[in-house]
Amino acid sequence: MHPAFSVIFFTVASGAGFGLFSLLFLADFFKLGGGFNQDQLVMGGLMAMGLVVFGLLSSTFHLANPKNAWRAFSRFRTSWLSREGVFAMVFMPLALVYLGSIMFDAPQWMRVISGLLTAVLAWITVFSTGMIYACLKTIRQWNTPLVPANYLALGYASGSLLLLLGAVVADLDTTPYLAMSALIVSIAAVLKAIYYFWIRSPGLTPTINTATGLTRAKIKLLDTGHTHGTFLTQEFGFRIARQKAGLLKIVVFVVGFALPGLMLVWVFGQQGGPLAASVAALAGLAGAAVERWLFFAEARHVVNLYHGAQRC
Amino acid sequence: MRLGLVIDLDVCVGCHACAIACKEWNASGTIGPLSDYQPYGAEPSGVWFNRIRHYEMDEYPNNKTVNFPMSCMHCEDADCVTVCPTGASYKRAEDGIVLIDQDKCMGCNYCSWACPYGARELDRSSGTMKKCTLCVDRIYDQDLPVEERQPSCVLTCPAHARMFGDFDDPDSAVSRTVRERGGYPLMPELNYNPTNQYLPSRRKPVIPVDAKPKGGLKESIKQFANRLVRR
């Protein structure tokens, strides 16, 4: 699959934003490390919403006909893309209610209920983002439950690293935030490792034989029938060399998981402080971006069987 | 009704006439134009609803070229329709034709990801997705003679490799042909239940390609005589 940068930016930024918002609610509810004060909570919440909004806006850049984008909310019953849009739109006002009830000292029940609903919606939205890809039977590397799991784990991992940065800057007791980040980042790393292991095996997939129905002999493509590229070759023809993919997987693990982990140790040892926490947050986001690029680059659509691939 | 095509791989000669006729009709049809990019340039490309690939089956000396036209399969369980977030993609209840409402499409490409057959192509000039309409603006046209109320590709095929009809009717020509010739759908394992069916090559004797056994004296004299006569 052709990796579109607008979609990569969208999924990474909105994932981190939704993750940050949900974890911010947890930090507020349990008063982790002493708890953020009002202004800090509102600030953090607005930053999370900013990430989500920028992500959603950038996702419209890959539309060829954005004037009809408003119609994308209309097929909630069948389309995960539509569901994601609807959930994200419901998230926004609820998140504002939560931030408003913090700012204007609303009763505790209102603050808790709106916060809980927002956190749950954030989780559902990131899950829907993953399901957009996981529901496609045409791409073996995506059609697995590991995909929404990875989207959730990486979104919450980058969100937790951003929250840790907030806790360090706000001079809270960082221990609970460190524990949370360490836990979520390790879960994300393990899930990603399982995913990379899983997609290595060819699995039961369509082959050039089932694609043509000529199943009793070896088939090879003689001619694609087009002079130059087509929409299909541009969209689905992208291939990444196995060696390069392997290298990028190492980058994902070093930058996305190991480096933040190391920085967590530094923050824990009271050495790095804000600098280490910033490096951890940025490395987490950069790792997630590389992971997302690779997620697209490694996906092999079955239409390639009509362009010469023997299997996908 | 479940309208669709039958494509006879045994007789398709790979002339691309169906693709040309399709482009000709649909460029001015309901969802036209079908934009071309650099049609006379170094890298010609554009939107086509019908593409023909050429395969080689088996290996020498049993090899055979198979010409393989492909357009929208008008699947029974069309994921391209269910994944569409705007409702632009739809499958008509009355005849099973899958269409795209050009006024609703936002050009997100998601339906093309869901299609295993590569039937959907984005038109860069309009920013909308386009696909085979089964010539919906032709097959119901009361102004045309009855025999011309068929998709352009079917009408134009010089080898009669394409048939159009109703698969819900067990006595229609397409249903009968599929039954008799063992027609099959492509990639059935994905469970899209494509309507279009492909007829496999008929079995034909293998043409012997071994060197002929050497004849005796009689054969040599005969060949010599033949050569003389030819001169």
Above 90 in pLDDT, residue B206?
no
pLDDT at position B219 is 84
Residues 30-49 of B with CB under 8 A from A: 43-48
Above 90 in pLDDT, residue A227?
no
For residue B156, the Cα-to-chain-centroid distance in whole angstroms is 12
pLDDT at position A312 is 83
- Of the candidates A178, A197, A133, which has an alpha carbon nearest to the alpha carbon of residue A4? A133
pLDDT at position A10 is 93
User: What is the arithmetic mean of pLDDT over A222-234?
Assistant: 92
- Cβ contact B115–A303 (<8 Å): yes
B88 touches chain A (CB under 8 A): yes
pLDDT at position B69 is 97
User: Would you give the DSSP letter of residue A138?
Assistant: T
- Chain A: residue whose CA lies nearest to B118: A303
pLDDT digit string (tens) for B53-95?
999 999 988 889 999 999 999 999 999 999 999 999 999 999 9
How many domains, in total, are found in chain A? 1
Residue A312 lies in a domain: no
- B113 chain-A contacts, CB cut-off 8 A: 1, 136, 138-139, 235, 301
Question: Which of B62, B85, B113 has the CB atom closest to A138's CB atom?
Answer: B113
Smallest CA–CA separation between A114 and chain B, in Å?
28
| pLDDT category of residue A210 using cuts at 50, 70 and 90 | very high
pLDDT digit string (tens) for B88-129?
999 999 999 999 999 999 999 999 999 999 999 999 999 999
Q: What is the ipTM, given to two decimal places?
A: 0.92
d(CA A236, CA A278): 37
Residue A162 structural domain: 5-307
pLDDT at position A271 is 67
User: What is the arithmetic mean of pLDDT over A207-234?
Assistant: 93
pLDDT digit string (tens) for B157-166?
999 999 999 9
pLDDT digit string (tens) for A287-303?
999 999 999 999 999 99
Which residue matches tokens 């907030």? A166
pLDDT digit string (tens) for A173-187?
999 999 999 999 999
**Residue at B1: amino acid letter:** M
Is the distance from CB of B104 to CB of B58 less than 8 angstroms?
A: no
pLDDT digit string (tens) for A10-61?
999 999 999 999 999 999 999 998 889 999 999 999 999 999 999 999 988 8
User: What is the arithmetic mean of pLDDT over B187-214?
Assistant: 85
Is the distance from CB of B174 to CB of B159 less than 8 angstroms?
A: no
pLDDT digit string (tens) for A114-153?
999 999 999 999 999 999 999 999 999 999 999 999 999 9
B180 touches chain A (CB under 8 A): no
Q: What is the CA radius of gyration of chain B?
A: 23
CATH architecture for segment(s) B3-199: 2-Layer Sandwich (3.30)
pLDDT at position A218 is 94
d(CA A72, CA A66): 10
Residue A60 lies in a domain: yes
Average pLDDT value for chain B:
93
Question: Which of A139, A217, A224 has the CB atom closest to B53's CB atom?
Answer: A224
- Cβ contact B189–A206 (<8 Å): yes
Which of A214, A219, A307 should one mutate to test binding to chain B, selecting the residue with the greatest count of B CBs within 10 A? A214
Residue A21 lies in a domain: yes
Above 90 in pLDDT, residue A93?
yes
A245 touches chain B (CB under 8 A): no
d(CA A285, CA A291): 10
pLDDT at position B61 is 81
Burial string for A81-103 (b: 16+ CB within 10 Å, else e) reads bbbbbbbbeebeebbebbbbbbe
d(CA A303, CA B90): 21
- Pairs across A and B, CB distance < 8 A: 182
User: What is the arithmetic mean of pLDDT over B4-12?
Assistant: 96
Residues ≥6 apart with Cβ < 8 Å to A140: A199, A203, A205, A300, A312
pLDDT digit string (tens) for B25-59?
999 988 889 999 999 999 999 999 999 999 999 99
Of all residues in chain B, the percent with pLDDT exceeding 70 is 98
- Of the candidates A142, A208, A153, which has an alpha carbon nearest to the alpha carbon of residue A186? A153
pLDDT at position A272 is 66
- Chain A: residue whose CA lies nearest to B44: A228
Residue A255 lies in a domain: yes
pLDDT at position A90 is 96
CATH of the domain at A184: 1.20.1630.10
Average pLDDT value for chain A:
94
